[in-house]
Amino acid sequence: MYIFALKNAKQLSRQICKKTKLRLGLFKAKRFSDGEIYLQIKNEVKGQKVFILGSTCQDKNILEFLILINALKENGAKKITAIFPYFSYSRQDKKDRLGAPITAKLMANLFKQAGVNQFITVDIHSQRDKDYLKPKLINLDPLPIFANYIKKNISLKNTIIVAPDNGARNRAFKLAKLLDPLPVLVMQKIRPQQNMAKILKFKKNIIGKNVIITDDMIDTAGTICAACHELKEHKVKDIYIFTTHGILSGPAIERIKKAPIKQVVLTDTYPIPKEKRIKKIKILPIAPLLIKEL
């Protein structure tokens, strides 16, 4: 069986091939003079089950992913499984205001239409996203990886788990359960405008506690930094962040540098360039979780 990987997932696909029976599929992709993508697979896939792995982190990758699926389908692949370590547009999962689209649903439909029979995702943003990718979705849970890391590296004494908003509530309780269980605090967030996060004030005595904030992703780091500042007002001790996807766009790295955070722990579901791999950030590999499923 073959696994085809976009350029941005080559390293991950090699790790997978080393530990499974999958072989790396070959294809060439180039651009015509007018910018259109031309793609050609180099393996015989007729009647075969194939996997495709890639980050859809930029729109041009989405198109290449779709064209690759189509090439596999048109050349007779029997079952196509798309692996999205991070499912982009997942936060645009509802009509949040009049005139808005539902881009997550559109994305799911595009991939199904192109020929995907099954999806594998990691810590997908919402139940709505899961519904769009049904009926064949396997959504992998990275929390046991985080729990293991926490047990080995962070004292559980006097420690609480914090969800920075309601969306992270279930994740926080799940992580807490894997850790003895630990107590959970759920904060409330509002977004006065897009890409701006405001954490609401709360009353609870958490003086001197160590805090583990958990969320599905850090994008501009507005959410986690606002949460940290509010927690510091409550005189907490050390703050750790555990989030699956490190998008780290715009001001994220500068914000993380300045924020009262001891460590940010992410996985490599999203490509993180060298210059963003600062000392405070620890990246755990997602390959072991994917390998179990392949």
Shortest reach from residue 189's CB to ligand R5P, in Å: 7
Q: Which C-beta is closer to ligand R5P: that of 8 or that of 249?
A: 249
Q: Which C-beta is closer to ligand R5P: that of 54 or that of 222?
A: 222
Q: Which C-beta is closer to ligand R5P: that of 129 or that of 165?
A: 165
Output DSSP code: residue 27.
Answer: E
Residue with tokens 């914000």: 255
Is residue 108 close enough to count as binding ligand R5P by CB under 6 A? no
Question: 139 — phi, psi (to 5°)?
Answer: -110, 115
Is residue 268 close enough to count as binding ligand R5P by CB under 6 A? no
Is residue 223 close enough to count as binding ligand R5P by CB under 6 A? yes
Alpha helices in 200-251 (DSSP H): 222-233
Is residue 218 close enough to count as binding ligand R5P by CB under 6 A? yes
Q: Which C-beta is closer to ligand R5P: that of 15 or that of 126?
A: 126
Burial degree of 15 (CB within 10 A; 0-12, 13-18, 19+):
middle
155 within 8 A of 182, measured Cβ to Cβ: no
What the block records as the tokens of 161 is 């788990």
**Known catalytic membership, residue 189:** yes
Residues near 246 by beta carbon (within 8 Å), at least 6 away in sequence: 217, 218, 264, 266, 267, 269, 270, 272, 276, 281, 283
**Which x/- pattern over 79-98 shows residues binding ligand R5P (rule: CB under 6 A)?**
------------x-------
- Please identify which residue in 64, 93, 129, 216 interacts with ligand R5P, judged by CB under 6 A: 216
Sheet-wide strand order for 2-5: 23-24, 2-5, 49-53, 79-84, 118-122, 137-140
- How many helices (H) and strands (E) in the chain? 9, 16
Residues near 30 by beta carbon (within 8 Å), at least 6 away in sequence: 37, 38, 39
Q: Which C-beta is closer to ligand R5P: that of 108 or that of 221?
A: 221
- Please identify which residue in 22, 71, 72, 217 interacts with ligand R5P, judged by CB under 6 A: 217
Is residue 220 close enough to count as binding ligand R5P by CB under 6 A? yes
- Please identify which residue in 25, 54, 85, 222 interacts with ligand R5P, judged by CB under 6 A: 222
- Please identify which residue in 63, 110, 136, 167 interacts with ligand R5P, judged by CB under 6 A: 167
Which span sits near ligand R5P by CB under 6 A: 16-24, 179-187, 217-225, 283-291? 217-225
**Which one of 189, 198, 201, 257 is the catalytic residue?**
189
Q: Which one, of 91, 166, 82, lies nearest residue 116 by Cα?
A: 82
Name the CA radius of gyration of the chain, rounded.
20
In order of 87, 95, 103, 182, 265, the CA distances from 98 in angstroms are 24, 7, 14, 41, 37
Is residue 215 close enough to count as binding ligand R5P by CB under 6 A? yes
Is residue 129 close enough to count as binding ligand R5P by CB under 6 A? no
Contacts of ligand R5P in 169-198 (CB under 6 A): 195, 197
Shortest reach from residue 148's CB to ligand R5P, in Å: 23
Positions marked active-site? 189
Residues forming contacts to ligand R5P in the complex (CB under 6 A) are 91, 165, 167, 195, 197, 215-223
